[in-house]
Amino acid sequence: MKVTIFGSGYVGLVSGACLADVGNEVVCVDIDSDKIELLKRGEVPIYEPGLDQLIHSNQQAGRLSFTTDVAEGVEHGLFQFIAVGTPPDEDGSADLQYVLAVAAGIGQHMNSYKVIIDKSTVPVGTADKVRARIEEVLKARSQSGIEFDVVSNPEFLKEGDAIDDFMKPDRIIVGTDNPRTSELLRALYAPFNRNHERVIAMDVRSAELTKYAANAMLATKISFMNELANIAERVGADIEHVRVGIGSDPRIGYDFIYPGIGYGGSCFPKDVQALERSARSLGYHAQILEAVEQVNYRQKEVLFHKIKSHFGDDLRGKVIALWGLAFKPNTDDMREAPSRVLMEALWEAGARVQAYDPEAMDEAARLYPSRDDLLLCDSPEAALKNADALAVATEWKLFRSPNFDAIAEALSAPVIFDGRNIYDPKYLKGRGFTYYAIGRNGG
Ligand SMILES: NC(=O)c1ccc[n+]([C@@H]2O[C@H](COP(=O)([O-])OP(=O)(O)OC[C@H]3O[C@@H](n4cnc5c(N)ncnc54)[C@H](O)[C@@H]3O)[C@@H](O)[C@H]2O)c1
């Protein structure tokens, strides 16, 4: 089948490569010409495990190509995926300008029936707006007779596991009121749907809301556990015991209840905010969502407060080794990463940061070019050299079982601020460390 994907970011590239890998002919369109040039040369602009290889093999087989030419993209695919960004507007609502620009481009160049698929995370009612924009452009071209359908097919992939998530999805949400389109989508997704039925068909608005509901639920679990961690600290309990204690209840489960220094990334923060703003615009005060957001905002500052209460308010002259910059392991994505809040607060207080991340070093250099108070190091050990303490912001596997003797030797004093609870407090205490974690042993 012929597929066009607008937007060559995390979602567009993974969807494009996976759809090509099962035999489809895929054209990816992006307005960023540097990115497209890179991709044409076989370079992949993001880090996602396995993605390089998947793109290369399908590019070489002639099933996957890249272009900035909208007309070429619209001409190519029966399926026209919209996978562009939906960043927050000034007031936190989703900014639909990129989605609607793609819709206008499709309307401008469309000459036959197309299935337009909203894969971007978009507020309820967006499919109607996409339809209206296309109709408007077709009318201006005196081509109102050309048929098309707009489907909501939100994406649930997780960065770091994106290819597996796309190839073996938990669910394939197809939101359409038209049985013909539903069948076309079923056929497109059939290769990913062999093991058992994963397509969940519903109306467009419910599909749009399902994506926000999923992200809001996951963000709620995180903020809930972080709230509990802060209480545990104050009452002298250990949140890690509490986590295991409640996770054993199958109604609660062990997944996604890790306390830490808040959620980041390109999805949870903006999606919780957008859902809350969208409810507010309809006169409904979504109190849980508001609290989830506020708790997360506060949680991102927790490690900095621990550092300040250890060293005092004035951190001038202090050097903090920081392990982990990406918002979570197995990605180079630093959008809304807790590490950024921590670094910026440390700089504000006069401290310097020596940072290491297995994948996000280039991204950090891009975000914070030429700062005297940031040293980007090429190994975890290099980051420790002459630092006054180690802070851990991302739970990369590499950081989980380090050589603690070497850490103690490299630091001016053996102090660790663990924002992800990856170490054992008793073990570290036994080795002479002052150890701060989240929600454990009085913090
Ligand atoms: N990143 C994730 O893990 C994830 C998971 C599920 C859903 N989503 C949602 O998917 C959407 C895309 O997210 P992402 O992380 O891939 O974004 P991204 O920022 O990585 O990529 C978006 C791409 O769209 C391109 N673009 C913008 N306007 C365009 C246009 N008119 N035509 C063609 N390309 C255009 C940009 O240049 C960029 O390359 C968002 O709505 C996001 O919320 C993301």
- Active site (annotated) includes residue 377: no
Q: List all residues 6 or more positions away from 111 whose beta carbon is below 8 Å from its beta carbon.
A: 75, 143, 146
Q: How far is CA 272 from CA 259, 302, 399, in A?
A: 18, 21, 30
What is the Cα–Cα distance from 153 to 435, expressed in whole angstroms? 46
What is the Cα–Cα distance from 233 to 437, expressed in whole angstroms? 10
Six-digit token string for 251 = 């109604």
Residue 13 backbone class (left: φ over 0; alpha: ψ -120 to 50; beta: rest): alpha
Q: Is the CB of 157 under 6 A from ligand 1?
A: yes
Six-digit token string for 387 = 């630092």
Residue 125 backbone class (left: φ over 0; alpha: ψ -120 to 50; beta: rest): left
* Burial class of residue 313 (count of CB atoms within 10 Å of its CB; 0-12, 13-18, 19+): exposed
Six-digit token string for 5 = 């994907």
Atom number in ligand 1 closest to CA 266:
1
Give the containing element (helix H, strand E) for 436: strand 434-436
| pLDDT digits 0-9 by tens, 167-178 | 999 999 999 999
Whether 2-202 shares its CATH topology with 300-436 is answered yes
How many other β-carbons are positioned within 10 Å of the β-carbon of residue 439?
Answer: 27
Look-up of token digits 């927050």: 88
Residue ranges of alpha helices (H) inside 282-424 are 287-299, 302-311, 338-348, 361-367, 380-384, 404-410
Query: Ligand 1: which of 74, 84, 106, 334 to mutate, judged by most atoms within 8 Å of the beta carbon?
Result: 84
Which CATH fold topology does 300-436 show?
Rossmann fold (3.40.50)
Look-up of token digits 């408007």: 136
CA of 429 to the centre of ligand 1 (A): 45
How many other β-carbons are positioned within 10 Å of the β-carbon of residue 296?
Answer: 24
- Domain positions in the chain are 2-202, 212-297, 300-436
How many other β-carbons are positioned within 10 Å of the β-carbon of residue 418?
Answer: 25
3-state SS assignment for residue 201: strand
pLDDT of residue 90: 85
For the domain made up of 212-297, the CATH class stated in words is mainly alpha
The stretches in the chain having pLDDT less than 50 are 443
CA of 315 to the centre of ligand 1 (A): 38
What is the Cα–Cα distance from 10 to 46, expressed in whole angstroms? 7
How many other β-carbons are positioned within 10 Å of the β-carbon of residue 220?
Answer: 19
The beta strand positions in 113-214, using DSSP E, are 114-118, 148-152, 172-175, 199-202
Catalytic residue among 18, 28, 267, 377: 267
pLDDT of residue 433: 97
CA of 266 to the centre of ligand 1 (A): 9
The beta strand positions in 95-168, using DSSP E, are 114-118, 148-152
Q: Is the CB of 86 under 6 A from ligand 1?
A: yes
* Burial class of residue 287 (count of CB atoms within 10 Å of its CB; 0-12, 13-18, 19+): exposed
Q: Is the CB of 8 under 6 A from ligand 1?
A: yes
Q: Is the CB of 83 under 6 A from ligand 1?
A: yes
Query: Ligand 1: which of 8, 266, 331 to mutate, judged by most atoms within 8 Å of the beta carbon?
Result: 266
Angle of the 287-299 helix axis to the 204-235 helix axis, nearest 10? 50
Rg (CA), the chain: 24
Is it true that domain 2-202 has CATH number 3.40.50.720? Answer: yes
> In this structure, what DSSP letter does residue 202 have?
E
Buried residues in 95-130 as b, exposed as e (16+ CB within 10 A) = bbebbbbbbbbbbbbbeeebbbbbbbbbbbebbebb
Residue ranges of alpha helices (H) inside 236-360 are 239-247, 268-281, 287-299, 302-311, 338-348
Residue 11 backbone class (left: φ over 0; alpha: ψ -120 to 50; beta: rest): alpha
CA of 320 to the centre of ligand 1 (A): 34
Task: Give CA angle at 297 (247, 428), nearest 5°.
Answer: 55
| pLDDT digits 0-9 by tens, 122-157 | 999 999 999 999 999 999 999 999 999 999 999 999
User: Of 52, 40, 42, 41, which is closest to residue 14 (Cα–Cα)?
Assistant: 52
User: Strand 352-356 and strand 2-6: pairing?
Assistant: unpaired
